[in-house]
Amino acid sequence: MNRQETLAGQVALVTGASRGIGLAIARRLGQMGARVSLCARNAANLERAASGLREAGIQVLALPTDVTRADEVAGLVSETQRTFGTVDILVNNAGIGIFGPFQEQTEAEWNAALDTNLKSVFLASRAVAPEMMRRKAGHIINIVSLAGKSTFATGAIYCASKWGLLGLSGCMAEDLRAHGIRVSAICPGSVATEFSPHAGKDPSRMLQPEDVAHAVAALVTQAPGSFISEVQIRPTQKP
């Protein structure tokens, strides 16, 4: 894809960006001219991702971060602002998948899923909101899932976190729209990544990380007088 400078001068922060959907989003925003701050828990994977983006000519800051911890999130936002400037675009992508019959799940698994998939969005969004409100501009994009709108066996904890995230996204949008901040939720179906098992599915017929990145690109290039609150993405053919 050729570089497009649509986002020249803007700063994007992408969580869970060391691989898969997050990395594809970071690459797309960087190709559009944004300076991109990446975070993930695994430092080695994160640096590998950052190196690849730098080789493509993208300005990157990579900070190992546990987004379930308020102090680390605050540090991430502070260092991003110090290095690149105030955050124009926040993409809350960090997430984990825990699957199995709900009666067999542990409290630790519940806490891990809800903290990563839901609490982290609250923490990161709260951290960038004051500056966005001051400037009366900004995008917050939450990567949810079609699991936030449906139920299936073995999905209790995951679905609970994503249903909650969809509700949080809608309320955030209402709280922040008067301040010029646009909050959107992207709900993809199954994406061909290492995130969760896709037994029996043909990866070539599944959504790709770049499909989600394309939706993010569309959201951040909307005309200023409107915003798209929710995007659902499905593959053309069922896998």
pLDDT tens profile 214-234: 999 999 999 989 999 999 999
What does the pLDDT read at residue 5?
Answer: 81
What pTM was computed for the model? 0.95
pLDDT, residue 216, reads 98
What average pLDDT does range 38-55 have in this prediction?
Answer: 98
Q: How confident is the model at residue 237 (pLDDT cuts 50, 70, 90)?
A: confident
* CATH code linked to domain 11-233: 3.40.50.720
pLDDT in tens, 140-158: 999 999 999 999 999 999 9
Instruction: Give residue 220's pLDDT.
Output: 97
Q: Is the pLDDT of residue 61 over 70?
A: yes
What pLDDT does residue 203 have?
A: 83
* pLDDT above 70: residue 139: yes
Residue reference for tokens 């990157």 = 60
- Which residues are tagged catalytic? 158
Residue 130: predicted pLDDT: 98
Domain coordinates in residue numbering, the chain: 11-233
Q: Measuring CA to CA, how many Å separate 184 from each of 71, 100, 218, 238?
A: 25, 29, 11, 25
pLDDT of residue 1: 42
Residues 177-218: tens digit of each pLDDT: 999 999 999 999 999 987 655 666 788 889 999 999 999 999
C-alpha to C-alpha distance for 220 and 72, rounded to whole angstroms: 26
Is the pLDDT at 138 greater than 50? The verdict is: yes
Q: What is the pLDDT of residues 100-126, one digit of tens each?
A: 999 999 999 999 999 999 999 999 999
> Within 13 Å, how many C-alpha atoms sit on residue 133's CB side?
11
Q: For residue range 159-186, list pLDDT tens digits in order.
A: 999 999 999 999 999 999 999 999 999 9
